Amino acid sequence: MDEHLQTVLEDLALQEQRPMEDVHADLISSALAHRHRSNILWDHWRSLSPREQDVTALTCQVCTNPQIAARLHISVETVKMHMRNTLVKFQLYSKSELRLISHNWGLGTLMDTLIEPKTGGWILLAGACSMNSTMLTAIAHLGERGAVRVLDGGNRFNAYTVARAAHGRPDILERITVSRAFTCYQMLSLLESTPAIPAPFVVLDLLNTFYDESVQAGERKRLLQACISHLHRLGQAAGGVVSIRPPAVPSQAALEMLDLLQSSAVDTFFVQMAAPAPEPMRLF
């Protein structure tokens, strides 16, 4: 077994307190089931036009028709037409079914239309903590195509989730490098030391350390402005994605930092994750 893969499996086995062989078997089983489901979903996805894919992706983020129309600069009636076509191609009856599929089957391809670094800048994704698992799945998908650098500002990187999304493939895991910051000063240091090379970057929960009120608001803003300058530098080489989580208790300083990031990003998406389907009640 590859040494890197064995290390990851040992870590996962320790987290789950299960034998490593069981974890490995689960990964293989999950990969086979995922491949079968993904083949079907990919066939449906490829049958959509580019505009239908855009509408479908935003619909699965629980955006309303007017919100989608405004984002894509089309009419509400056009949004409805594209959604009708999508439902026919996916052989579904409602948007609720489509959202349920994207949640239960981990239809990362939908979110990938948003989490897609483009050379020349970086995009901002704002959402609750529930968005993180989708971010990790997208990181694994980026790793299928080449090197990807992850800067973790909120201790959000979960090797188990990424390994599952990568179907246990060591070649994908080896392409993903992770660095963590636990203070806003460390985040700036990480960005400063990250070289501008043709490999996309993903920053997880950037503002987490900047919500630390033990650091003066003016100092946090200064550090964030310096971080943004490095995001621009890195974005010119390969593009990147930055995720943020709004503060639990909004403050003037936090809102100013949110505005600063939004005005600096090439584009901003406010992501609303579909709620999981309620489990049936059990009598016993």
**Using one digit for the tens of pLDDT, what is the confidence trace for 224-235?**
999 999 999 999
**Using one digit for the tens of pLDDT, what is the confidence trace for 115-171?**
667 788 899 988 777 678 888 888 988 898 899 999 999 999 998 889 888 888 889
Tokens matching residue 279? 């489990």
Half-sphere exposure of 276 (CA within 13 A, CB side): 8
Tokens matching residue 234? 């890195």
Question: With DSSP H G I counted as helix, E B as strand and the rest as coil, what are the percentages for the chain, rounded to 5?
Answer: 60, 10, 30
Q: Give the number of other CB atoms < 10 A from CB of residue 193.
A: 9
Q: Quick one: 152 and 238 in the same domain?
A: yes
The amino acid at 14: L
Q: Lowest mean pLDDT: which of 4-13, 111-120, 222-231, 269-278?
A: 269-278
pTM (predicted TM-score): 0.63
Q: Quick one: 7 and 92 in the same domain?
A: yes
Mean pLDDT of the chain: 81
Q: Quick one: 47 and 20 in the same domain?
A: yes
User: Residue 114 in contact with residue 269, Cβ under 8 Å?
Assistant: yes
The SS3 assignment for 204 reads strand
Tally the domains of the chain.
Answer: 2
Domain closes at, from 107, 129, 145: 107
CATH number, position 223: 3.40.50.300
Tokens matching residue 165? 């999304």
